[in-house]
Amino acid sequence: MNANAHGHPHGPGEENRGTAFRGLVSRVRHALTPHSHDSADKTDAALESSRRGMRVLAISFVALTVTATAQAVIVFFSGSVALLGDTLHNFADALTAVPLAVAFSLGRRAATRRFTYGYGRAEDLAGIAVVAVITASAALAGYEALRRLIAPQDVEALGWVAAAGVIGFLGNEWVARYRIRVGREIGSAALVADGLHARTDGFTSLAVLLGAGGAALGFPIADPIVGLLITVAICFVLRDAAREIYHRLMDAVDPGLVERAEQIIAATPGVTGVAALRLRWIGHELRAEVDILVGHELTLLQAHAVAVQAEHQLIHHLPRLRAATVHTDPDGPGQADSHAVLAAHR
């Protein structure tokens, strides 16, 4: 930045001295002033993500409740025990929104001296609860299928039962798509897992539909056989949901995110290399810790300025990154010695 850009013409020598002085003052001010980018704009983005999550939970809760209520009306007229089980299942599944809503509410709370990273991990705990519900659903579906295979039961009012199966499938599939889409957009593994759970419920409703179709064709055993197949499908969905929550609990991230972060840092002026990079999810927000290499001839203030610029570039170009801690190491003579000292103290 030169002086003319501010409208103050100077001679060449004076301009150079003024520019150097202002640059020094600017760097000192920046060094002595907190420079966190995890402030108003990032907080607003985090709160907006939580609001979207709460909105998804509220809408999907209403959708599943309406679906289960419509099925309950058909249960009353048809007397179908199978449909009754699916209806009760859908009512129970609507309640899985409760732990997620609690998690999103906790996630809005500010960090404390005990919970210095905030309460974002509550989403992962809610994800465990969702996985537990999927597991219970798979166990219940398998038990009912085996019980009906051993002791088949006649199904009455097959047309109404089939219609209820379609209603259950459409309601759950809509909720599943909605939850999975928004969950991936805001980075919430728990919301994605709950969307996968809603998809398993749609499969359960399809089992009622296919079982009713088989009974209409004179094969009452079709209902429990289809129920067993759906149980297997639920187990596959359970595996995917459990793996996603496990990865989140173990601080796993998409390798593509790591590569993208490395590219962003490497493109920052003054950075000669990336010594270490760590990313982790806290709720639906990313945090980064980076060790960068800078020229060994740089002063402390110059190295600090490079670190600030690397932090700035990361936060503004890596999706859902809320905060980054950047450490600088000298790249050149003495680098190996300094790294050895650091390793000895770690």
The answer to whether residues 280 and 346 belong to one domain is: yes
Domain contains 177 = yes
Higher per-residue confidence, 214 vs 128: 128
Domain contains 10 = no
- CB of 208 closer than 8 Å to CB of 228: no
Q: Taking Cα atoms as reference points, which of 322, 272, 279, 335 lies closest to residue 302?
A: 272
Domain contains 28 = no
Measured between alpha carbons, how far is 194 from 172 in angstroms, rounded to an integer?
11
The answer to whether residues 153 and 259 belong to one domain is: no
| For residues 148-174, average pLDDT | 81
Which of 9-23, 167-181, 187-201, 209-223 has the weakest average pLDDT? 9-23
- For 96, phi then psi, to 5°, come to -65, -15
**Structure confidence at residue 107 as a pLDDT band (50, 70, 90):** confident
Mean pLDDT across the chain, nearest whole number?
Answer: 77
**Structure confidence at residue 301 as a pLDDT band (50, 70, 90):** very high
| For residues 172-187, average pLDDT | 87
Report the percent of the chain where pLDDT is more than 70. 79
- Give me 236's structure tokens: 């596959």
Owning domain of residue 155 = 40-249
The answer to whether residues 244 and 274 belong to one domain is: no
For residue range 70-101, what is the model confidence (pLDDT) as tens digits?
888 887 777 666 677 777 777 777 777 788 78
The answer to whether residues 233 and 195 belong to one domain is: yes
Determine how many CB atoms are found less than 10 A away from the CB of residue 47: 12
CATH classification at residue 325: 3.30.70.1350
The answer to whether residues 110 and 229 belong to one domain is: yes
| Angle subtended at Cα 222 by Cα 217 and Cα 225, rounded to the nearest 5 degrees | 170
**Structure confidence at residue 10 as a pLDDT band (50, 70, 90):** very low
| pLDDT for the residue numbered 335 | 59
Q: Choose one of 193, 224, 249: the last residue of a domain.
A: 249
Q: Taking Cα atoms as reference points, which of 103, 172, 104 lies closest to residue 137?
A: 172
Q: Choose one of 199, 233, 249: the last residue of a domain.
A: 249
Domain contains 8 = no
- CB of 120 closer than 8 Å to CB of 104: no
The answer to whether residues 99 and 140 belong to one domain is: yes
CATH classification at residue 133: 1.20.1510.10
The answer to whether residues 222 and 306 belong to one domain is: no
The answer to whether residues 256 and 182 belong to one domain is: no
Which of 13-17, 79-83, 317-321 has the weakest average pLDDT? 13-17
| pLDDT for the residue numbered 155 | 64
Three-state DSSP class for residue 288: strand
Measured between alpha carbons, how far is 62 from 339 in angstroms, rounded to an integer?
57
Domain contains 23 = no
Q: Choose one of 206, 225, 249: the last residue of a domain.
A: 249
The answer to whether residues 203 and 76 belong to one domain is: yes
| pLDDT for the residue numbered 334 | 56
The answer to whether residues 61 and 165 belong to one domain is: yes
Lookup result for tokens 């055993």: 221
User: Residues, the chain, total?
Assistant: 346
The answer to whether residues 118 and 164 belong to one domain is: yes
The answer to whether residues 272 and 341 belong to one domain is: yes
| pLDDT for the residue numbered 327 | 95
Domain contains 244 = yes
Domain contains 31 = no
Which of 192-201, 247-256, 284-293, 337-346 has the weakest average pLDDT? 337-346
- Highest mean pLDDT range out of 17-21, 177-181, 230-234, 264-268? 264-268
Per the structure, the count of domains in the chain is 2
Report which DSSP code applies to 297.
T
For residue range 229-270, what is the model confidence (pLDDT) as tens digits?
777 877 887 888 889 889 988 999 999 999 999 999 999 999
Handedness of CA 127, 132, 135, 141 (dihedral sign): negative
| For residues 213-231, average pLDDT | 76
**Structure confidence at residue 48 as a pLDDT band (50, 70, 90):** low
- CB of 104 closer than 8 Å to CB of 182: no
